[in-house]
Structure 1
Amino acid sequence: MIFTGQCRCAAVTYQLDVDALPAIYACHCAHCQTWSGSAFALHALLPAQALQVVGPVTHYAYDVDGQRAEHQLCERCHTRISNTTTAAPGLRVLRVGTLDDSPALQPVAHIWVTRKQPWLSLPDDVPSWPYSPTPEAFAQALTPPAP
């Protein structure tokens, strides 16, 4: 399937070629709150090669907590499209709000809930972790149940 998205000013567009849209998760860490200007950020992990971006992009990289993150932004409006991190080799983290159909999506997991805004209530039936989960636990939470 092909999913599409774009930055705020539409100078950067992208196509995501995957069998199904990857599971969405919410990150409540201080970095995501600051970057998004909101209470959390919505992300999807996908194979790095699945995302084809067209348009003027710039990159921003930083090191935090022993990990390296490299972000891809629109050069004009500075909307973050995606990033890679050494914490998830071979994967790309898509900023779900940039998807054309983002209003139809809901997170299936929440991470870094120790930094969650106190006024925000999370559903009891959605997995959550106080910090980053183990890769195994996270993969299990993001994997849809077998039919």
Structure 2
Amino acid sequence: MTTRTAACTCGQLSITVHGESLGHGICHCLACQSRTGSVFATLAAFAAPFEVTGNATQYVRTGDQGARFRFNFCPICGSTVFHTEEGIDKFVMVAVGCLADPSFPPPQDSVYDSRRHPWVQLPDGITAFAKNPE
């Protein structure tokens, strides 16, 4: 079974996940753009269980459809490493950049594509959604 560890920039906060990704994609929503300081976020879902090492500061944001997402970031370096959806403990969303693995597969879908910066080119074969599909 594949085991991966994602860590913040300073290494204080990490999460270890097991198995293959349940799915991975790009989010172009304005909240992810603001949260990451980039023009999109790249995330991968992994099934529970997972192990967290270190201390996290949390920020809860309510999504467009009312779901509440708990973002976990390092209180020292500020890197957002993972997030969960309140009330759903079956999986965790990990920031792909924190995996530090250039061989990680390309995204499968792109959500909030209506907010994508026009100069951002998506990989061939990716499914794009104007908003978040439910």
User: C-alpha displacement at 1:64, in angstroms?
Assistant: 3.5
Which residue does the alignment assign to 2:103?
104
User: C-alpha displacement at 1:123, in angstroms?
Assistant: 3.6
State the number of aligned residues: 131
Distance 2:58 2:90 in 1: 18
TM-score normalised over the length of structure 1:
0.79
CA contact (8 A) 2:5 2:15 kept: yes
Which residue does the alignment assign to 1:10?
11
User: C-alpha displacement at 1:5, in angstroms?
Assistant: 2.0
Matched, 1:62 2:61: yes
Name stretches of at least 5 consecutive residues in structure 1 with no aligned partner. 135-147
CA contact (8 A) 1:67 1:87 kept: no
Distance 2:74 2:107 in 1: 25
Relative to its length, the structure with more helix (as a share) is 1
Distance 2:81 2:4 in 1: 14
Q: 1:13 to 1:89 in 2, by over 3 A?
A: closer
User: C-alpha displacement at 1:100, in angstroms?
Assistant: 3.0
Q: Where in structure 2 are the equivalents of 1:57-136 lying within 5 Å?
A: 57-65=56-64, 66-86=66-86, 90-101=90-101, 103-105=102-104, 106-134=106-134
Distance 2:115 2:25 in 1: 15
Q: 1:125 to 1:16 in 2, by over 3 A?
A: same
User: C-alpha displacement at 1:90, in angstroms?
Assistant: 2.9
User: C-alpha displacement at 1:81, in angstroms?
Assistant: 1.2
Please give the per-residue CA displacement for 1:80-121, whole angstroms capped at 9, x wherever unaligned: 1111125966322111110031x2221111111000001112
Most deviating of 63-72 and 83-92: 83-92
User: C-alpha displacement at 1:122, in angstroms?
Assistant: 2.1
CA contact (8 A) 2:84 2:92 kept: yes
Name stretches of at least 5 consecutive residues in structure 2 with no aligned partner. none
Q: CA RMSD in A?
A: 1.9
Amino acid at match of 1:9: C
